[in-house]
Amino acid sequence: MLRIVEARNRRAVLALLTPVHTRDTATERRVATIVAAIRADGDRALLRYARRFDPLDGPIEVTQAEMHDAAARVPRAVRAAIRAAARNIRLVARRQVPRGWRMRVAAGVTVEQRIVPLDRVGCYVPGGRHPLPSSLLMTTIPAVAAGVREVIVACPRPGPVVMAAAIEAGVTRMFRVGGAHAVAALAYGTRTIPRVDKIVGPGNRYVSAAKALVASDCGIDFYAGPTEIVIVSARGPADWIAADLIAQAEHDPDARAVLITPSRALAARVARDVEAQLPGDGPAREALRAHGGIIVTSSAAEAMALANAAAPEHLVVDDDRLAAMVRCAGSVFVGPWSAQVAGDYAIGSNHVLPTAGAARARGGLSAADFVRQVTVQRVTRAGLRRIGGTVTTLATAEGLHAHAASIAVRVK
């Protein structure tokens, strides 16, 4: 099932580690039509698309009373798991909130940075084959921890377990809408759904295309493609690695799951264990056949160099020695007991992560994504005289004489 390739086979390595960036122009055109309709017709278009695609067959908004009633029907063990996961996510998110500061740059010149929460955010929670309370917790709890006053959730089919997570997280409002029309409604606002400052959360290709389209008018977290895992290991255990590759592959037929190892013996054992553990059919088998594989390198250092070049969403490594070599990854899991799946639910770190090489530029979603960093400057008369010459000299060098005059009129 899993291809085993040598690191010196550059073409095969690139095929395994490089995501294919192809524009889906048909999806983009459909999404553009939907977004334009929401902007023009508001609720009328929103309801039309919601009934067609979601499909909506009741009120568009989920009331707090409905959420509480549904949450009460969730098994006690599941509610306890939601509370435990939320606690850990909340602890990490509170630590992530940036702190303000104020400093004296020079006599009479001070700079302050204020941390101001966003006013309202929209959290998208997919509603596909299975309910995803974990995605709700991962997107909403950091926003609440950052101090956002209104946390809005859009989910096309919010089952009781999702509503239980919403109660635990402190969600303000929830709407039964999904897809591109939900993203457009959050970005531009309708009479029913208020306009938000930022939209976060994973979704299908329509959601991703809509987020990319509205990004010039509304903040987004990042473009999310198919999920991916890279494991760098020389030791195994082979059956654990096989289980981790299969677990990530079951998300999506386009998921990418790769082991990079300097051990040919481990490569062979993992390939056998994947075949032994893999279900008979389903997205995991399809994903591993199309986008799974094992790369055999000459050394652990070469394995880490390939992993950094791939900048994967999830990177699993044997030990802290390898972890110290990581430069580009959305989230890193160190040692055989740090199961990547645990990070999806309960470690406390966020599972909304950059994919398709975007980890070269940023990490995963955090509480810092839900604040504004506002810079405040204070300059006294003496301070302006002290820095005025620098300002006027540079402004004149750039040919911006009115800029220089703005200083000169004060200090003459």
Domain assignment of residue 44, yes or no: yes
Alpha carbon 184 to chain centroid, angstroms? 19
> Are 387 and 340 within one domain?
no
Count Cβ atoms within 10 A of the Cβ of residue 150 and give its class: 0-12 exposed, 13-18 middle, 19 or more buried.
middle
Residue 225 pLDDT greater than 90, yes or no = no
> Are 164 and 83 within one domain?
yes
- Rounded to whole angstroms, the Cα distance separating 153 from 170 reads 11
Question: Which residue among the candidates 168, 291, 313, 351 is catalytic per the annotation?
Answer: 313
Predicted pLDDT of residue 131: 83
Domain count for the chain, please give it: 3
- Rounded to whole angstroms, the Cα distance separating 181 from 193 reads 11
Predicted pLDDT of residue 308: 98
How large is the average pLDDT for residues 1-27?
A: 90
Predicted pLDDT of residue 19: 82
- Write the Ramachandran bin of 106: left for phi over 0, alpha for psi from -120 to 50, otherwise beta: beta
Query: Pseudo-torsion of CA 175, 177, 178, 184, nearest 10°?
Result: -90
Structure-token pair, residue 51: 């009934």
> Are 137 and 230 within one domain?
no
> Are 88 and 132 within one domain?
yes
Predicted pLDDT of residue 115: 98
**pLDDT per position as a tens digit, 267-299:** 999 999 999 999 888 899 999 999 999 999 999
Q: CATH code at 61? A: 3.40.50.1980
> Are 303 and 323 within one domain?
yes
Alpha carbon 195 to chain centroid, angstroms? 21
What's the mean pLDDT when you consider all of the chain?
96
- Rounded to whole angstroms, the Cα distance separating 123 from 282 reads 29
Residue 314 a catalytic site member: yes
Residue 1 pLDDT greater than 80, yes or no = no
> Are 81 and 200 within one domain?
yes
> Are 58 and 200 within one domain?
yes
Predicted pLDDT of residue 130: 75
**Inter-CA distances, 368 with 10, 120, 144, Å:** 38, 15, 11
Domain assignment of residue 365, yes or no: no
> Are 191 and 309 within one domain?
no
Question: Which residue among the candidates 181, 251, 314, 351 is catalytic per the annotation?
Answer: 314
Predicted pLDDT of residue 280: 83
> Are 313 and 276 within one domain?
yes
Q: Give the pLDDT band (50/70/90) at residue 262.
A: very high
Residue 372 pLDDT greater than 80, yes or no = yes
> Are 296 and 386 within one domain?
no
Q: Give the pLDDT band (50/70/90) at residue 223.
A: confident
Residue 313 a catalytic site member: yes
Looking at 307, 328, 348, the residue that finishes a domain is: 348
Contacts 24+ apart (CB under 8 A), 380-388: 380/108, 380/109, 381/108, 382/107, 382/108, 383/106, 383/107, 383/108, 383/109, 384/108, 384/410, 384/411, 385/411, 386/106, 386/107, 386/108, 386/109, 387/106, 387/109
**pLDDT per position as a tens digit, 233-242:** 999 999 999 9
Give the DSSP letter of residue 368: G
Domain ranges, residue 279? 3-19+226-348
Q: Which residue has the tokens 């740090």?
A: 338
> Are 294 and 256 within one domain?
yes
Domain assignment of residue 64, yes or no: yes
Looking at 203, 220, 237, the residue that finishes a domain is: 220
Predicted pLDDT of residue 8: 96
Mean pLDDT lowest among 248-252, 292-296, 396-400: 248-252
Predicted pLDDT of residue 224: 79
Domain assignment of residue 123, yes or no: yes
Looking at 348, 371, 401, the residue that finishes a domain is: 348
Q: Provide, rounded to the nearest whole percent, the portion of the chain with pLDDT above 90.
A: 93
Does the pTM exceed 0.75? yes
Domain assignment of residue 356, yes or no: no
Domain assignment of residue 60, yes or no: yes
Domain assignment of residue 316, yes or no: yes
Residue 23 pLDDT greater than 90, yes or no = no
> Are 181 and 319 within one domain?
no
Domain assignment of residue 110, yes or no: no
